[in-house]
């Protein structure tokens, strides 16, 4: 379990706050972290222009919210996939259903291209473990 996430900003390294995640999995980073407000604005946003800096901080907050949602969904998907595998094997079925995995790979590839294929492979591995 990850206990500290370190962030380099403005020449200082400091721990970043954590948020518990259901199912006892790795914690997600908070959607808004007060520690992100430390240090000069240019060090945090890459620009001294106030309007651009403010917009960058708004966008980053939304990115953090999306990341946290993706982490929670990843964990939920992996748990559900593992439950499917356990249920299937307990009833005498196979460990994997390759036709289902191929459909998932194709759906992600069609929507996201080559990166989608890689993402789908990671999702499948999280749910069933390595082959």
Each residue's pLDDT expressed in tens, for the chain with a length of 131 residues? 333 333 333 333 333 444 444 444 444 555 444 445 667 777 889 999 999 999 999 999 999 999 999 999 999 999 999 999 999 999 999 989 999 999 999 999 999 999 999 999 999 999 998 77
Q: How many CB atoms lie within 10 A of CB 72?
A: 15
Domain of residue 74 covers: 5-83
- Tell me if 74 is assigned to some domain: yes
Q: What is the pLDDT of residue 10?
A: 39
Counting the structural domains of the chain, the total is 2
Q: How far apart are CA 30 and CA 47, in angstroms?
A: 24
Q: How far apart are CA 125 and CA 105, in angstroms?
A: 12
Q: What is the pLDDT of residue 129?
A: 84
- Tell me if 61 is assigned to some domain: yes
Q: What is the pLDDT of residue 131?
A: 75
Same domain, 120 and 78: no
Same domain, 16 and 68: yes
Q: What is the pLDDT of residue 93?
A: 96
- Tell me if 116 is assigned to some domain: yes
Same domain, 12 and 62: yes
In this structure, the dihedral spanned by the alpha carbons of residues 68, 73, 78 and 83, taken in order and rounded to 10 degrees, is: 140
Q: What is the pLDDT of residue 36?
A: 55
């Amino acid at each position: 379990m990850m206990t500290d996430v370190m962030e380099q900003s403005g020449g200082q390294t400091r721990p970043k706050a954590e948020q518990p995640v259901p199912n006892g999995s790795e914690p997600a980073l908070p959607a808004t972290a007060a520690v992100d407000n430390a240090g000069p604005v240019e060090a945090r946003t890459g620009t001294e222009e106030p309007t651009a800096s403010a917009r960058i901080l708004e966008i980053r907050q939304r990115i953090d919210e999306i990341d946290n949602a993706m982490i929670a969904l990843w964990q939920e998907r992996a748990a559900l996939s593992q439950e499917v595998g356990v249920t299937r094997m307990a009833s005498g079925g196979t460990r994997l259903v390759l036709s289902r995995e191929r459909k998932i790979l194709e759906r992600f590839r069609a929507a996201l291209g080559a990166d989608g294929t890689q993402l789908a492979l990671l999702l499948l591995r999280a749910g069933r473990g390595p082959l």
